[in-house]
Amino acid sequence: MKKNRLLLVIFGGLLVIGLAVAMVAGKEKKYDFGGRTITYATWWEYKPEPGRSEREDLRLQREAEVGKEYNVKIDYLTIPWGEFTAKYITTVMAGDAMADIASVQIDWFYPTLLMNNFCLNLSALNVFDFTAPKWQRETVDFATLDGDVYGYEIGRIEPRGAIFFNKTMFEREGLPNLYDVFFNYEWTWDKMLEFAQKLTKDIDGDGIIDQWGIGGATGKVWCGLLLSNDAHFIDISDKRNPRFSMGDSNAIEALQFFQDLAIKYKVMLVKPEGAPYDYPVQAFLEGKLGMLSAQFWNIDKMRENMKDEYGIVLFPMGPKMKEYTAEASGHHLRTFPVTVKNPEQVAMVEDALTEPYEIDGELRVIEEKNEEWLEMRVTDEESIQVAQMIWDKQLSVFNFQAAFGIMDIFYTIEWELEHGHNTPRASVEEYSQEAQMRINDYMSPL
């Protein structure tokens, strides 16, 4: 009995020692990827430079640590926007890859790259834990097909679609604080119309309107209205069978309100024939437009060129919604070309590079555009709160107008509606068959 107990103790001690050795060995385990270069491809300049920002300094420090740990180098490739997708496709078809990790617009990724098997199934690598907080939930969900993840992004999604409003004009015309209306969830289509009617004026009495209530760069107003009424230009809920969905009841309701703003109520600034696409943006900068539907990045123009005070809210809620939305055209995600060599190595390096940084005792993922980026451009704290709402409530909605080669149809419908040349239903019905046919053709293999 004592002998058995002694053997058990000896065996247990050896087991503990063995586990300890294994743990130490695990900590000391080195990866050697042979000095390979991990290349990132973007259409904008992404290579970090020392001293330019906190994010870039942290990135460079992390790159040095990871490079040493895995014996890799990090490089960056900039490819012009108009050449990016073609370069991605041609290199894959040649059995090569233009980079190990490529940042692609969502309407490049889907349907073309994803549905033609140009993107690697990242779930199959068993490296990334896509439930971790560092990944953008909106992007991972979108980039999932049949339960597998093919694309991702880190941190919080970049704020995009918004309504800029002229605070100076609102005060001058005796309108309430739009932030109070917005944060109290009273910001609806009806309220926007009410404000637009009070803002639209012939100031000098010559019979020509000098000050408009609402306007937006080409496509922005009707896009905001559709998404804010739980509607879409193209329904991609079934990614294998996308559907032209402007004939849905929620969409028709949005299109009718869009036309009413221009024709019935005459409160929407319609771009004159031959004027630049950003004509309403210029009108807003010049103090001639009360509310502008545009993307967040326009705040650079406001900061540099606008004399009046301005604020930022999201699009008002349509009758079918109880929450705000933020249109997200032009969003990017990262994906691996399917031809990347030794993709597990790339994934391990990327997983290490994207881990949060410990800053002042907190773990943080550092985005390119965050609160600090916004604070340098906006004129009030409420604008930051609006961006925070987009992040906290995941309000971004991806817009796929440009994904299927039918933008000419969308432009035609928009022009017909804002000039009163057709009713929403008649215009949609006139082009729906052609639109769906082109969508189906676009889904055909390359």
Concatenating the DSSP letter of every residue in 149-201 gives: E--B-BSSPPP-EEEEEEHHHHHHTT---HHHHHHTT--BHHHHHHHHHHH-B
CA distance 422 to 434: 17
Q: What does the pLDDT read at residue 337?
A: 98
Q: How far does Cα 160 stand from its chain's mean position?
A: 7
- Residue 210 CB-half CA count within 13 A: 8
Q: What does the pLDDT read at residue 29?
A: 61
Structure tokens at 39: 């290349």
Domains 36-157+330-368 and 161-327+374-442 share a fold: yes
What residue type is assigned to position 260 of the chain? Answer: D
What is the b/e burial string over 170-187, where b = at least 16 CB atoms within 10 angstroms of the residue's CB?
A: beebebeebbebbeeeeb
| Strand stretches in 167-322, DSSP E | 212-216, 234-235, 243-244, 289-295, 310-313
Instruction: Report whether 414 contacts 216 (CB < 8 A).
Output: no
| Assigned CATH class of 36-157+330-368 | alpha beta
Q: What does the pLDDT read at residue 446?
A: 85
CA distance 140 to 350: 16
CA distance 161 to 362: 30
Instruction: Report whether 110 contacts 242 (CB < 8 A).
Output: no
Q: What does the pLDDT read at residue 4?
A: 43
Reference 163, options 210, 107, 227, 208; nearest CA is: 227
Reference 240, options 117, 139, 140; nearest CA is: 117
161-327+374-442: CATH superfamily: Periplasmic binding protein-like II (3.40.190.10)
All structural domains of the chain with their residue ranges? 36-157+330-368, 161-327+374-442
SS3 assignment, position 49:
coil
Reference 246, options 237, 255, 238; nearest CA is: 255
In this structure, are strands 362-364 and 357-359 parallel, antiparallel, or unpaired?
Answer: antiparallel
Residues paired with 72 in a beta bridge:
36
pTM of the full structure: 0.88
Distances from the Cα of 46 to the Cα of 56, 88, 158, 231, 329, angstroms: 9, 17, 16, 35, 20
Q: What does the pLDDT read at residue 411?
A: 95
In this prediction, the residues of the chain whose per-residue pLDDT falls under 70 are 1-29, 367-371
